[in-house]
Amino acid sequence: MLQLLCQLDTNDFPGWKCDFDAEATERMEAGLTLLQMWRDADSRSRVLMLFEVNDRARAQAWLRKEQGFGGPMTATFLQFA
């Protein structure tokens, strides 16, 4: 099972979160399930999201589309050790 950890820096968290919530169906169609979302306690503009990945190819396509949405984002695919 794969998971995906994304880190985003956004200057408009409320606006970004509203758009993020509106795209729940797109994430589901990309084989992604949001497991957890955090905001950095020391940098309120930084958001971290952990997803369960059901289809890596579709998840990668979603990441390509999302690059630059709301701010710079990094993404790392993870598997259990």
CATH number at residue 17: 3.30.70.100
Instruction: Quote the domain boundaries for residue 59.
Output: 2-79
Give the tens place of pLDDT for each residue, 16-71.
999 999 999 999 999 999 999 999 999 888 999 999 999 999 999 999 888 766 67
pTM: 0.90
CA distance 53 to 17: 20
The per-residue pLDDT for 57 is: 96
Total domains in the chain come to 1
Confidence of residue 72 (pLDDT cuts 50, 70, 90): confident
CA nearest 73: which of 52, 42, 45? Answer: 45
d(CA 51, CA 30): 11
